[in-house]
Amino acid sequence: MSSPALRPFRPKLQRTKPVDREGQEQAALMQELALRYPEVHELIYHVPNGGHRVKAVAAKLKAQGVKAGIPDLVLPMARGGYFGLYIEFKATVEPAPVSASQRDCLRRLSEQGYLAIVCRGHFDAMEQLRAYLRLPRTEVSA
């Protein structure tokens, strides 16, 4: 019997899991809103359009109305003549670029009377939210 060819031992390379910096910063924003602005925290919500999914799940969600480019956060509080606020949230560290579909969606929302903006991180988003909340309430006249 011949012995199998000896191969040099090579340790298996461990891939580091990617860090969801955007998700971490957005969660920090939500925690701060819960503490400082509970009335805002009650209304603001995240649109879970992003992320990687199995093709069958992605197709099912698309059929149910998931659309590329929809901003991450929605605040249905009317201020300053706007009907509400949409925020496309990007991480401060290693931010992803604003995609063409995101830019197009922000433009379409702006054309419909919403304030639709990009925020770079938790602190930028808090600053923008504070500025928006200082605007007078939008009054609807019949």
Question: Which pLDDT tens digit goes with each residue over 79-123?
Answer: 999 999 999 999 998 878 999 999 999 999 999 999 999 999 999
Rounded Cα–Cα distance for residues 56 and 140 (Å): 43
Domain borders along the chain are: 21-134
* pTM for this prediction: 0.83
Q: Per residue in 113-129, pLDDT tens? A: 999 999 999 999 999 99
- Which residues 6+ apart lie within 8 Å of 110 measured at CB? 116
Fold of 21-134: Trna Endonuclease; Chain: A, domain 1 (3.40.1350)
